[in-house]
Structure 1
């Protein structure tokens, strides 16, 4: 039985790449959709905030020296592209999903409207939040913390390529150990990179726990939603 009724899944754009250098790997997105669909079918209300790094990475050399605000708006558009791809993958899997964007692109996706997003969740639909917060200088981590707080999520599930938070970089230090749980204050004092500072502070202030886990680990999402010891739980 799921430990949470409503969750916010933060999915990086890089997670969609699989082994590719950029773009969307079809097998990877289909596997993720299958896992998310299984969680949704169990009765958990699930929203997704998706990044755009996989698409933006493909044009990164051309963005060198670009004005930061302009580059950030380009990144927001990349998240919309990823959200549409994810919605289409859900459609092909027979799952209803709605995309809401912080930028107004009404010919393509719905604008973000909080009451409508909550209604969709209550109806059992998956809601994909695109375009970050709609503002430059804020990351999709901050969007995840903000949207999670707005919709009343019980936890932010941050899906990464690493199965939790470690005492050091496990790829560089073989002696690094994984934290099963850690407090917000301890993570700050140890300068552990959980989310960017704005997002992390918002989750702490709203008492919104974060669970960091590997999206590449089979069954990890199910175990995280069930409240099992998967990845690392950051809490008050």
Structure 2
């Protein structure tokens, strides 16, 4: 059996990845498949933290564009990430993986408040930790949350699982058949080319703290394990050159 290449990872899931083909809400079969893939990684001895978006339920930016106060719309988006996190926790624990949800917005009846040292202790005990409610602040994306939490818990890599693309391309591969897929690119190149993989705040955090980012497709079962074992799928982003 191939050993894992990383000791501690942050898995970044978009909310849309949980909705399957329906495009909204939570698709049980999809979340069960993701939970099974996370279990494969956990069984390798890898410490796994997860950040889940909320776009399958609510997007703060859309609410803002509709005329809603931006902060209010973003807080609603944070609540959507908590719903997704609890659903993922349920699937993981039904699969025998001990899991804790920590939220940046305190709601002790359903989850622990985010405490860095406690999160690290959970990871050391081989519990999957799901970070919900973003950073707890409006105007910050869940991409930024993933970068911030990865830096705080000293994760070696962020695995950005996509449901609509299998890596980073020079252009939208659905619109431009000539788009080039990158196997490796630096954060600075990504920012200069305006590739839109993650927002500039998240990119800067990763670049400044030397955190690798791997963008790959989650639609093929077993891909999370393959990435953790070092198979060259998707796109690796690192460095600042």
* Deviation (angstroms), 1:196: 0.7
* Deviation (angstroms), 1:21: 2.8
Q: 1:13-56: CA deviations, max 9, x gaps? A: 10000011310001100001000111001100000001011011
After TM superposition, the structure 1 = structure 2 runs for residues 143-162 of structure 1, keeping only pairs within 5 Å, are 143-161=145-163, 162=165
Cα separation, 1, equivalents of 2:24 and 2:37: 22
1:223 to 199, 221, 226: 226
Residue 181 of structure 2 aligns to a residue whose secondary structure is coil
Residue pair 2:63, 2:70 contacting (<8 A) in 1 also: no
4+ aligned runs moved over 4 Å, structure 1: 60-63
Where does residue 53 of structure 2 map in the other structure? 51
Residue 73 of structure 1 aligns to a residue whose secondary structure is helix
Cα separation, 2, equivalents of 1:44 and 1:206: 21
Residue pair 1:63, 1:71 contacting (<8 A) in 2 also: no
Which has the higher mean CA deviation after the structures are superposed, 62-71 or 177-186?
62-71
Where does residue 31 of structure 2 map in the other structure? 29
In the alignment, does 2:196 pair up with 1:193? yes
Cα separation, 2, equivalents of 1:90 and 1:220: 17
In the alignment, does 2:208 pair up with 1:205? yes
* Deviation (angstroms), 1:8: 0.3
Residue 192 of structure 1 aligns to a residue whose secondary structure is coil
Cα separation, 2, equivalents of 1:117 and 1:77: 20
Equivalent residues, number: 234
User: What stretches of structure 2 of length at least 5 have no aligned partner?
Assistant: none
**Residues 7 and 78 (structure 1), Cα distance of their counterparts in 2 relative to 1, 3 Å cut:** same
Q: TM-score, normalised by structure 1?
A: 0.96
Residue pair 2:15, 2:55 contacting (<8 A) in 1 also: yes
Cα separation, 1, equivalents of 2:9 and 2:211: 11
Q: 1:85-137: CA deviations, max 9, x gaps? A: 11111111111110000011111110000111001001010000000000000
Residue 53 of structure 1 aligns to a residue whose secondary structure is coil
Cα separation, 2, equivalents of 1:31 and 1:47: 17
**Residues 34 and 136 (structure 1), Cα distance of their counterparts in 2 relative to 1, 3 Å cut:** same
Where does residue 64 of structure 1 map in the other structure? 66
Residue pair 1:51, 1:140 contacting (<8 A) in 2 also: yes
Where does residue 100 of structure 1 map in the other structure? 102
2:141 to 139, 155, 168: 139
Residue 49 of structure 1 aligns to a residue whose secondary structure is strand
User: What stretches of structure 1 of length at least 5 have no aligned partner?
Assistant: none
Q: Once superposed, what is the RMSD of the aligned Cα atoms? A: 1.3
